[in-house]
Structure 1
Amino acid sequence: MQEGAEFLKSKPAGKIDPKGLLYIQQREFAATTPQDGSVSILGTEDATTCHLVVLRHTGSGATSLGHCDGSATEMAVSMMLNAVKSLSVGCDLGRYEVHLVGGFIDERSLSHELTLELLGRFKSNI
């Protein structure tokens, strides 16, 4: 996990053309598919104790991005999963992949608690 974080940190920041970009704010999520003609990039920023959650179905390519801060985590996971499931109807092959980005070792262990909560919610719902 540490290697993945170091690799991600080493990537230079780049500018994204706003065309096709859907920006996700804290406590929001969105979902799309590769066939979507309007949205080609889901993006967010500024995750400190927050976590950026990417849920993807490998068969359909349906992807959801959430910016979770520990508020209503159960509902956020449920909504993200329902969105990806609905965008994957008719696709019998594939699996769900969950990626978490963000968080750090903070004095109150907020990031650690959020990581465990997110992983637990996905485990019980997938």
Structure 2
Amino acid sequence: MENMTNLEIVKSTYEGKTSEENGKNLAKYVAEDVSWTEAAGFPCAGTYAGLENVIQNVFKRLGSEWIGYKFTPEDYVAAEDKVVAYGTYTGTYKMTGKPFEARVAHVWKLKDGKIVRFEQFVDSQPVNNAMK
């Protein structure tokens, strides 16, 4: 599909059949110099430049430290160059065996069909509680 809308691009990173498919779609649409921000107070907090840094500092950590960590989108809001996805994170922290559920919003900024910025807004308290 050429000329996908910004909303379709963002949806493709969440709604593939597998997390691998979502990851491939993200890699396909992300700008080389993407700026990716995980919220302060979140275990992977910080701003990372480029997909490789995001994979190392965010996805690999979430994949190795948590069981079944996932984001379930509830809905999307799209306007001009931004798409907001909001919903719920769920997962279980391996070290404690404690599950959690947290509300979250992701704000994506796109330019010319590429993801240039991502920012996470999350209620990190339930996440941190699961880690204690």
State the TM-score, normalized to the length of structure 2. Answer: 0.27
Question: Which structure features the higher share of strand residues?
Answer: 2
State the TM-score, normalized to the length of structure 1. Answer: 0.28
